[in-house]
Amino acid sequence: MTAVVGLLLLGQVMLGQDVTAAAEAAGVDPILLAGAVVSTGMPPHDYLLMTGELKSPAPALNAAVERRLDCISWHESRDEPLATNPRSKAAGLFQFLGSTWAGTPQGRAGLSPYDPVAARQAARWMVAQGRVREWDVVRLGMC
């Protein structure tokens, strides 16, 4: 009797919720996902996010911030990821000082300021933290 009820519930979940679409998006077996949904009581999408089988979409980038970052990287390094200031030792696209870089999530993770992706993420983080005026080109009104 319990097995029959379980199969009926499994059928209801598969018919009542978008298990197939969620399973396809995550690349998982829809039958296994349906079983997890029945046992947890969670919607399929939420379950897949919780287990890491489905990644949350990246937040949309702010076009104005991205333009400002383009301006900063141009003025700081002429968009040269390997640029180094011989006097200050500032490094990378955004000319991070070692102490500034070390305080960013990317620096704490051991990434390099010469990595253009990490440097841009760190610069975005600084903007989000209200630290955009640490770049002279911003304080001077150039970006």
Q: Are 94 and 77 in contact (CB under 8 A)?
A: yes
CA–CA distance, 15 with 143 (Å, rounded to integer):
54
Domains of the chain, by residue range, sit at 2-51, 63-139
Identify the residue whose tokens are 């955009």: 132
pLDDT of residue 19: 87
Q: Are 91 and 118 in contact (CB under 8 A)?
A: no
pLDDT of residue 51: 81
As a whole-number percent, the residues of the chain with pLDDT over 70 amount to 88
pLDDT of residue 17: 55
Q: How do residues 111-123 score in pLDDT, each as one tens digit? A: 999 999 999 999 9
- 37: nearest Cα among 28, 47, 52, 27: 47
Q: How do residues 61-90 score in pLDDT, each as one tens digit? A: 899 999 999 999 999 999 999 999 999 999
Q: Per-residue DSSP letters for 45-109?
A: HHHHHHHTSSPPPPPPPPHHHHHHHHHHHHHHHTT-TT-B-TTT--BTTTTB-HHHHHTSHHHHT
